[in-house]
Structure 1
């Protein structure tokens, strides 16, 4: 009788944290996943107005800005350089499907979000993971936890104020917890934090062509930090938007399926909250 295959293990410690965070920064801006999924479902070139028609809860102006940024990042291509030329996912954008699947699977297994559209589940997961030095802190706790606050700051080479802010955010996002209520109690990863290996592996694998694109060097920490700090903090109107999306109809059964599938609808009241200048 054949021996059952052992589940593949993924080492968080082996991940290049800087490369992972730089790659996550490319897909972190709000509505990037929704836009990419809309293009993937259609499987052909689409103009801004066509993409916006598939995402009625986002203004057309914001869709245009998001597509322009995705074009600059190599996630989409255009038929030519003229104004108004239609967009299509690039090979790099199409290869995001593995990353999105890993993020979705991790979210479904470890986060209690209720009934959420697939693209929104992915964007919520990226929001929890993409901030600067989050991956490094997760790596430290995975390898050496439980760890006290001062030890995390020292090992990560971060100042105390930033370390406290990052740990508080990781706690709020369900990735880190403390071993007890006492002041100074060590920090440890939650089950969700310990299960991030497959996600980091998928992101790092996807980042290889990102680094090689146009024979360019990997995105620098400065660029990653600049885009990461555009994240909207918990409690903002992005949370209300997410809540509305959770109340929308069920998400497509698969991520980046090229079979046309309807996008979840969002109440009209939410549309006003997707202001053109708003990003993650």
Structure 2
């Protein structure tokens, strides 16, 4: 089944990798703020739970998008940074940011028009 999905949409594995919940915000923070300790990273993403942040960081490390550096000190220190592979996503994020700035007002207007039309239809159907 997964092969059929990939054949129908070959970018699907990339979308799953890059745009799964929390992946993009974590990579964005690391790209813009550099090497961070866990608590520093969590301060930039206050709505993510420590458990989920840990899971996402492990997945990003496994995928080669984040580098985890363990410092054998007392107390131990761990830092995270975006990898060179992760940095290759910067143009993609920039393109999406540009698209958002240019087109998201039209999306917002379309949503408003849709919601207004639905409200009018419901009011007409009731009355």
| Counterpart in the other structure of 1:139 | 28
Query: Deviation per CA, 1:186-240, whole angstroms, max 9, x where unpaired?
Result: 001110111212112334427937x6288126xxxxxxxxxxxxxxxxxxxxxxx
Shift of 1:155: 1.6
Q: Map 1:192-211 onto structure 2 (within 5 A).
A: 192-204=85-97, 205=99, 208=103
Mark the CA change 1:33 to 1:214 in structure 2 (over 3 Å): closer, same or farther.
farther
Mark the CA change 1:214 to 1:33 in structure 2 (over 3 Å): closer, same or farther.
farther
The number of equivalent residue pairs is 104
TM-score scaled by structure 1? 0.32
| Counterpart in the other structure of 1:168 | 58
| Counterpart in the other structure of 1:129 | 18
Larger Rg, first or second structure (1 or 2) = 2
1:188 aligns with 2:81: yes
Question: Structure 1 stretches of 5 or more lacking a match?
Answer: 1-29, 37-118, 218-280
Measure, in 1, the Cα distance between the counterparts of 2:89 and 2:31: 10
Question: Structure 2 stretches of 5 or more lacking a match?
Answer: 113-127
Q: Which has the higher strand share?
A: 2
Q: State whether residues 68 and 81 of structure 2, in contact with CA within 8 Å, keep that contact through their aligned partners in structure 1.
A: yes
TM-score scaled by structure 2? 0.65
1:159 aligns with 2:49: yes
Measure, in 1, the Cα distance between the counterparts of 2:32 and 2:81: 10
Q: Map 1:51-90 onto structure 2 (within 5 A).
A: none
Please provide the CA RMSD for this pair: 3.0
Measure, in 2, the Cα distance between the counterparts of 1:201 and 1:142: 12
Using CA pairs below 8 Å that are at least 6 residues apart, which structure has the higher relative contact order?
Answer: 1
